[in-house]
Amino acid sequence: MELHCDEHENADQVYLVGEQCLQNYLKQNNEKCPIQQHQHCEFSQSRITRKFVSELLVICPRQFDLKKEQSNEGIKLGGEEGKPWNESTSNLNLNSKNNCNCNFKGKMKDLKDHLNNSCNLIPIKQSIPYEITDQLNVMSKQIKELQKVVKDLQSQLQTEKLQTVLLLFFFFVFLFE
C-alpha cells in the first residue's frame, strides 16, 4: 500500500507498507497515520510496487527460519564436546533433526504455491505443538503414576496407623486385665 496523505504530500520519499500491517496499525492507533500521527490516513494499492514485489527473488522462508535457528544454536553451544548447554536447545524442530533443507529460490509470486505444494520442510509453528503435545502426554502419564503411588502410600500409612492403634488397644486391655 502507498500512503498519500495531504500532510506529507511534499515529502521526498514514497511511503510503502504492507496492507495487513497498515490495517493492523490503523486499528490499534485510532486510524492515525503511521508517518505523522494525523487523522484521516489516506492510502491506496500501488500496482507498480505490487508488480515489482511479485518479481523479487526470494528463498524459502522456512529454510531461512531453520538456518537462523541453527545459527542461534551454534552461539549457545557449550559444555562437553560441543553439546548444547541446555537440554531444550537440542530439540530444534523436526526439520533439523532430519537434516532436511529446501533449495527454493524463486519469485515472490511463486512462493505461496511452493509453500503449499512443494516445500519439504515442516513449518516450525506446526512442529513445535507436536513436540509439546508429546511431552505433555509423557508428563501426564508420569503424574498419574505418581498419584497412584501417593494413594498407595496413603493407604499403607492408614493401615499401619490402624494396626498400631489396635496393637496399643490390645496391649492396654491385656495390661489392665
Q: State the pLDDT at residue 148.
A: 94
**pLDDT profile of the chain (177 residues), mean per 10:** 84 85 92 90 84 90 85 56 39 51 91 90 64 83 93 93 88 79
| Residue 60 near residue 102, CB atoms below 8 Å | yes
The residue assigned the cell 506446526 is: 126
Paired with 107 in beta bridges are 57
Q: Which helix (H) or strand (E) holds 166?
A: helix 124-175
* Whole-number Cα distances in Å, 75 to 10, 42, 136: 46, 45, 28
Evaluate whether 9 touches 33 at the Cβ level (below 8 Å).
no
pLDDT at 58: 93
pLDDT at 90: 37
Helix, strand counts (H, E) of the chain: 6, 5
- Whole-number pLDDT of residue 82: 43
* pLDDT value at residue 28: 94
Q: Which pLDDT belongs to residue 154?
A: 93
Q: Return the pLDDT at 74.
A: 62
Q: Report yes or no: 47 and 19 within 8 Å, Cβ to Cβ.
A: no
CA 107 to chain centre: 27
Whether pTM exceeds 0.85? no
